[in-house]
A and B are shown apart, each in its own frame.
Chain A
């Protein structure tokens, strides 16, 4: 009994020491974890910031690259960048197209990054906004004259005008007529009157020279690789009606004869012969594979015409003809660069203006 009391009364310091050590160790571990956690957060935040910037810039460039038709003002799209990040891109129109000046836009891209590791559920995703001015660069057309005829041009009426001065005033003047010196028929490349203004531009001695100098990819147009049409016909039958502000692309696979009922604006592609007759008025571009014949009094084209393009496919094409009845038939042809640009406006690309990039756009 006495021995047992003696053992119970021997109190040591082991327990307090162990508790003290455990407390100190716990504090040390806690402090260590806290510092590591803080460091990870800092690194995570910086990574997220870098990611957000990369996402925003990627969105900006991808939007410009993917834009294959003229954008509408205030166009907006969310572009996924990788599995977790998104670029919210908005296109804002600063200035509509005026004359030969293309539309001016600003493209704003806000990158939102969820990819970088974050260590708190309350931490919002990182965001970064960049913006850049852009224009809609329409496809340009190699216009050598108001009327370019690769095989040559027979002007038989003596009336009318063939004027290569730009009625829009946005581009330099071109020739009234562009032809080879020697036509496909063996005659002179162009027989005046009327005398074109400015004078005839000779595209080389022969039809082959004219063919090579006209830089239009007619094969791609015929095969449909470029200038995809809004309407495809086999003749003038079924000629479409369209709103005055529309500039459609109308393709005729074959021959066509057009009169006042088919007037309008846009781009006409005829793979065969085209005859335009009195009352026909067209603003834009006319591309003809075979012979383009203008007959009667008063057809009016304000833009640019190219005929005999099938020569570029290896075909032999006869001379185009302006007027069939001397002294009566009359063609009035006026080069207009704005109408040419408008007819081709949809076939362009969004061009980000170098030197016009900013990242000072506010986040809200």
Chain B
């Protein structure tokens, strides 16, 4: 009886053991390959996704800032392939009087956008030529205006919509050192003329602060509100990220900064993003080339 019980406990033969180990080894190796490939694939995908996010992340902000600039005098001197500074309108209105300080009825503007803006001056549109006259110097000031000045000339300041929201507002624009004419020799503002409130904004590709430790060579796209905050919109960008310029009469962008700068009619932006890390199995960071053109919509012609 005892022999019978022992004989029922059959062990593994050496051959069986070798076969099992071989099969296990093959399957294990395959599994490891799959896991490693999956890991590499995930890393690569993550790198691509990061690169794409870098490229796309700043695009909307650029569009909003650049589209509404006035083509005649959008860019300021000193533009380069890595940096542009421009006068960005953040509010539009109409004049309610003809002397400085100028009372202006402004269209509704998003409250946060209004609060974030840093007033740097204004421009009024000469009805005859359609050209904007800028008042960026002379200590331009912005303060609350008297709504009665506008109502006395039948200019309506828009109320908030029925469902709530933001109303228009009345502001007063001053230029203390320029007298009542605003320094525009021979030009007299008229009631009802269009006025834009401006801030100066700079976009530049410059070393990243956010990645200064982990990726010292990283380039970021910065948005500087002159007199306000500097904001790192996205990073890292490839060294090929840059600005190019469209000029009047040409539909081909150029690298050279237009001369005069007032000929600029749009910007081609190369937002060439890259991944922060080198994915496994690769020797370089992943790069995502995104090129888009932004044309200035406020133009006379």
Cα A156 to Cα B237 in complex, Å, equals: 87
Using an 8 Å CB-CB cutoff, how does the interface string of A118-135 with B read, 1 for contact, 0 for none? 000000000000010100
Using an 8 Å CB-CB cutoff, how does the interface string of B265-277 with A read, 1 for contact, 0 for none? 0000000000000
B166 contacts the other chain (Cβ, under 8 Å)? Answer: yes
Q: Is B109 touching A362 in the complex (CB atoms < 8 A)? A: yes
Residue of A nearest to B53 (CB): A42
Using an 8 Å CB-CB cutoff, how does the interface string of B22-64 with A read, 1 for contact, 0 for none? 0010010001001100100010010001001000100010001
Q: Which residues of B contact A (CB under 8 A)?
A: 4, 7-10, 20, 24, 27, 31, 34-35, 38, 42, 45, 49, 52, 56, 60, 64, 67-68, 70, 89-92, 94, 105, 107-111, 113, 125, 130, 132, 153-156, 158, 161, 163-166, 192, 194, 297-301
A84 contacts the other chain (Cβ, under 8 Å)? Answer: no
Q: Is A355 touching B132 in the complex (CB atoms < 8 A)? A: yes
Classify the interface of chain A: helix, strand, loop or mixed.
Answer: mixed
Cα A9 to Cα B11 in complex, Å, equals: 10
**A6-B8, A24-B34, A359-B64 known; A354 and B300 CB under 8 Å?**
yes
Q: Is B38 touching A28 in the complex (CB atoms < 8 A)? A: yes
A interface, size bucket: 35 or more
Residue of A nearest to B59 (CB): A46
Q: Is B298 touching A355 in the complex (CB atoms < 8 A)? A: yes
Q: Which residues of A contact B (CB under 8 A)?
A: 2, 5-6, 9-10, 12-13, 17, 20-21, 24-25, 28, 31, 35, 38-39, 42, 46, 49, 92-96, 98, 101, 104, 106, 131, 133, 353-364
Q: Is B10 touching A6 in the complex (CB atoms < 8 A)? A: yes
Q: Is B110 touching A360 in the complex (CB atoms < 8 A)? A: yes
Classify the interface of chain B: helix, strand, loop or mixed.
Answer: mixed
Q: Is B38 touching A355 in the complex (CB atoms < 8 A)? A: no
Q: Is A94 touching B161 in the complex (CB atoms < 8 A)? A: no
The residues of A that contact B164 with a CB separation of less than 8 Å are: 364
Q: How many pairs of A and B residues are in contact by the CB < 8 Å rule?
A: 121
Cα A2 to Cα B166 in complex, Å, equals: 89
The residues of A that contact B111 with a CB separation of less than 8 Å are: 362
Q: Is B45 touching A104 in the complex (CB atoms < 8 A)? A: no
A-B contacts, 28 of them at CB < 8 A, read: A9-B10, A21-B34, A24-B31, A25-B34, A28-B34, A39-B49, A42-B52, A42-B56, A46-B56, A94-B155, A95-B156, A104-B155, A104-B192, A133-B194, A353-B125, A355-B298, A355-B300, A357-B68, A358-B68, A359-B67, A360-B68, A360-B90, A360-B113, A361-B107, A361-B110, A362-B109, A362-B111, A363-B110
The residues of A that contact B154 with a CB separation of less than 8 Å are: 95-96, 98
Q: Is A94 touching B94 in the complex (CB atoms < 8 A)? A: yes
Cα A96 to Cα B165 in complex, Å, equals: 25
The residues of A that contact B70 with a CB separation of less than 8 Å are: 355
Residue of B nearest to A12 (CB): B20
Nearest Cβ on chain A to B15's Cβ, whole angstroms: 14
Cα A356 to Cα B107 in complex, Å, equals: 12
The residues of A that contact B20 with a CB separation of less than 8 Å are: 12-13
A-B pairs, 3 with minimum CB distance: A362-B110, A364-B165, A362-B166
